[in-house]
Amino acid sequence: MTGAAAGRVWAHVGQPFAPARYDVLIVGAGRMGAALARFLRAARPDLSLLLAEEGGLPNEEGATILAPGVWHADVPPERREEAERTRVLLGDALTPCGLLDLQGQAGPATRPVSEVLGPDLLGWIDAGVLPHVRLDGRAGVYSAGQLTLGHAQTAIREGADLMLNVRAELHGHELNGHALDRPGSGGAARVALHRLSVTNTHQVVVDHTVNVTVARVVIAAGAPGPALAEAGLGIVTPHRAAYRQTPRLEVPSTSGTPVLRAEGLTLRPQSGGFTVVPPVPHPDPWGYVPTGGRLVGVPVGLRRETLDAVMRAMPGLSVLAGEGLVVGRSIADIPGAWLAVPAGDWPTWERLDDTHWLLLGGERADLTGLAVAEQLAQALAAT
């Protein structure tokens, strides 16, 4: 790639874009799409590539910017290779801090909490409920947003184009009436790119639409990805979405504070406090609108499922019962975003037809997402 010309960036509707043809279009410049763009440019610099994102970089309303950014080695055996490869790909972006997995029962490699936790952390738990702990000394944290920005910038420096504030609409195949067997063979998929603008009343509207023809389309739009494939291609997938909140716990943390995990919750040290990361219990039904729940009859910003997860963890993690947990007064007070829920629960990619691929990260993208994006880049490079 030495000497390769940098790609172009269209950040707003005032920058004219002529209808064009690309070898690859990646819909979505979040953590998975941006990583794919970087890996694909490295593997096949001869392919023209456009990265299209509905918001900014990263999208402030997407799941990437709220991703916990916690890597650890506690994965099933069949995911171990992907997890280790992801750790390698994270490189210097990963800050090792360790992870303390608090447990009620003794198990392999567990130790009494009194031998492992310092007095500050020991005061945050009930050792009668969680008397044992397992330490993952290789675990660490990173910023998924900064990593995504870095991947996209690298891809652009190496020749990828980027268009922001654009909504993609898929239209299947055209030209020769069939999908391409290889880039440049004559047929293509058509994608309408609706360029977005904001009115003086803060409404997002379509300013105008441009069309691109592409030999390969990768849908990496996160939670909306499966619906985008269904609406534009008529292809129904088993993947779903869920709304996840990450409330703050305002108790002191430092750069050396380990990640805590207990009763399904992860406490990620961040910005001098902690981000509380609940599990995703189940996909949300189509049309669900997130709303806050009620705590002892008082409206709060935590949705019912998040509130239940926190309440279940309180007996062991007594720090959650103090004044440090930010519950808010409405759903708008608690950071949250729609998260992809891939079938099988792990990051994955699949070929939808001869021209379209689907790439999903989801809840466990922190652990194996980069390796899966790299796998797809290798598959696309070979076609």
Residue 175 has pLDDT above 60, yes or no: no
* Cα end-to-end span (Å), the chain: 20
| 114-160 per-position pLDDT tens digit | 999 988 899 999 999 999 999 999 999 999 999 999 999 999 999 99
Cite the DSSP H helix spans in 252-347: 304-313
Q: Are strands 140-141 and 70-71 parallel, antiparallel or unpaired?
A: antiparallel
**Predicted pLDDT at 119:** 87
Q: How many CA atoms lie less than 13 Å away from 250 in the CB half-sphere?
A: 6
**Mean pLDDT (whole number) for 86-101:** 97
CA angle 277, 280, 283 (to 5 degrees): 150
User: How distant is the alpha carbon of residue 20 from its chain centre?
Assistant: 29
The two three-digit tokens of residue 6, written as one number: 């940098």
The closest alpha carbon to 70, from 236, 269, 243, belongs to 269
**Predicted pLDDT at 179:** 39
Q: Which residues contact 82 (CB under 8 A, 6 or more apart)?
A: 75, 347, 367, 368, 371, 372
The closest alpha carbon to 382, from 357, 362, 365, 347, belongs to 357
The closest alpha carbon to 52, from 154, 200, 165, 203, belongs to 165
